[in-house]
A and B are shown apart, each in its own frame.
Chain A
């Protein structure tokens, strides 16, 4: 219930930013439609910890900038490979363990891998992610497990204290 009300609040905030109209009538419509959508989501039971993971938002604020910087570094690596005349690629298919506890955590980790150029998550089998990497170096980088620990810390469950230490 609290989560649904929060959802309505977030939706209304988004609506305010997107609409740019601030007359009482229009704002009234905005409030009504946010509440209606939140109510429907509540009835459909999709405003849960997966559909509306607001509990992650504070940790996302530290995880996203870290991820963004990783993406920038990976982009520069891949750019260098593509522009190099010799095209020094060594495509590698490998598996990395995904130590997150929830499905949402697995998705966060898998999507972070895919979002980073040079590595794409192809499949997930029993808590192992199958990843295609453009070079052996990118594969080694992922196999050292730093991103896995960061994603687990971002999930913020049982392993948080352990992962927090290494992060």
Chain B
């Protein structure tokens, strides 16, 4: 019973972060900032949901498998995010920046890409 309650707290928190990630993807202005919102669903939401499910499963092999899913997600998701960011950059999509600290850039100048 206690495990059920804890499990539900984790699962509901995970759902909350999933929704926040979705809201972020809708609200943020360009592809690069949206990736940060998507990152919430990859890390926090996945982690909390899986911990919640682990409380349902208890000390069984299912829990081990759930934890392995988190481990593999945490290896795969940054690789995918990086590939996406790099693809967007090489496709010539300019990030909307408030601050460009790269060497050679006009620091702090509001950048191009004001198409929204």
A130: chain B residues at CB < 8 Å are 102
Q: Flag if B97 contacts A92 (CB, 8 Å).
A: yes
| Chain B residues within 8 Å of A, Cβ to Cβ | 17, 20, 23-24, 27-30, 32-33, 35-37, 39-40, 42-44, 47, 61, 64-65, 68, 74-75, 77-79, 81-82, 85-86, 89, 95-103, 105
Point out which of A72, A87, A111 has the most chain B C-beta atoms below 10 A from its C-beta.
Answer: A111
CB-CB contacts of A113-134 with B at 8 A, as 1s and 0s?
Answer: 0111111111100000010101
Residues of B within 8 A of A20 (CB): 61
* A79 contact set on B, CB distance < 8 A: 17, 20, 40, 44
| Seed contacts A83-B23, A130-B102; 5 additional CB < 8 Å A-B pairs | A91-B97, A93-B101, A95-B101, A115-B77, A121-B82
Interface size on A, residues (CB 8 A): 38
In the complex, residue of chain A having the shortest beta-carbon distance to the beta carbon of B96:
A91
Complex Cα distance, B33 from A93, in Å, reads 11
**Partner among B33, B85, B95, B102 whose Cβ is within 8 Å of the Cβ of A121:** B85
A78 adjacent to B86 (CB under 8 Å): no
Q: List 11 A-B contacts (CB under 8 A).
A: A18-B68, A78-B40, A83-B23, A91-B33, A91-B99, A93-B101, A111-B79, A112-B78, A114-B82, A115-B42, A134-B36
> What is the CA–CA distance of A92 and B82 in the complex, to the nearest angstrom?
16
Residue A90 lies at the interface, judged by CB distance under 8 Å to chain B: yes
What residues of chain A lie closer than 8 Å to B101, measured between beta carbons?
A: 92-95, 139
Complex contact B102–A132 (CB within 8 A): no
A117 touches B43 (CB 8 A): yes
Decide: B28 and A82 in contact? CB cutoff 8 A. yes
B65 to chain A, nearest CB (A): 7
Asked whether B98 lies within 8 Å of A89 as measured between CB atoms, the reply is yes
The docked-state distance in angstroms from the alpha carbon of A119 to that of B82 is 11
Cβ contact within 8 Å between A134 and B33 = yes
